[in-house]
Amino acid sequence: MRIALVDSGIGMLSTAAALRAARPDADLILSMDPDHMPWGPRAPEDVIGRALAGARAAAATRGPGVDAVVVPCNTASVHGLTALRAEFEPAIPVVGTVPPIKPAAAGGGPVAVWSTAATTRSRYQRDLVERFAPDVAVAQVACVGMAEAVESADPGAVAAAVAYAVERTPADVTAVVLGCTHYDLIGDEISAALGHRAELFTAAGAVAAQALRRMGIDPAPGLARTGTLTVLASGRPADLPKAALTYPAGTALL
């Protein structure tokens, strides 16, 4: 099976690692877009265009096409899923990413949702909070510069961005939703900075599981690791970025 993951940068790594763990025999195609990242500040039509370009590039790689397109990016999911599904489905399932607000709120809260500044301002996220946490105290925290810090793999920048978000997170929260897939890569640093007082909720595992369900394939973590890894950089064959190898999710793909 061949699974394409489409994102602007290394935020896709946690979902890719979850897919690799669930199906070691899966061939993964990581379609990144370094020429046009970040996608967050771009106009919706630009994000749609970049997501389509990434998925098309993955589908055109050598081999029998792809069996699923996974979008491990909240911004691309919000703006691009309709266009991607119109082009690829029903033949090829397209799976997006939704911040895990519902399971985080199930504990009764209070909850903090960490996301990019643009996502924090979005009607999309407000709708998710209203729908899945109507009776729970939810603090929406704009994590200024955190995705960029993770992408650069600069420890100082990461520490500063995490400290900025922690200062804006109420002290009584019991759950923190990581509303940007980049944040998954520094979960240990976030948990330590919060004093291990809140459970972190990420979407990577659920997205990987949904992708397998949509393909009609069961998890089989005990299989031999025969799956290949292909990396595209704005459509060009590339190696896994060096920054990716500073994170466990990145090294897990090798």
Write out the catalytic residue numbers.
73, 180
Alpha carbon separation from 154 to 35, 69, 133, 191 (Å, rounded): 20, 30, 34, 18
Alpha carbon separation from 140 to 117, 120, 122, 172 (Å, rounded): 10, 6, 11, 14
Alpha carbon separation from 111 to 73, 79, 166, 195, 219 (Å, rounded): 21, 25, 13, 15, 31
Q: Is residue 118 within 8 Å of 125, Cβ to Cβ? A: no
DSSP class of residue 241 equals P
Q: Is residue 17 within 8 Å of 37, Cβ to Cβ? A: no
Alpha carbon separation from 251 to 240, 241, 244, 254 (Å, rounded): 10, 11, 7, 6
Question: SS3 of 116, please?
Answer: coil
| Pairing state between β 94-95 and 199-201 | unpaired
Rounded Cα–Cα distance for residues 102 and 203 (Å): 11
Write phi, then psi, for 177 (nearest 5 degrees).
Answer: -85, 125
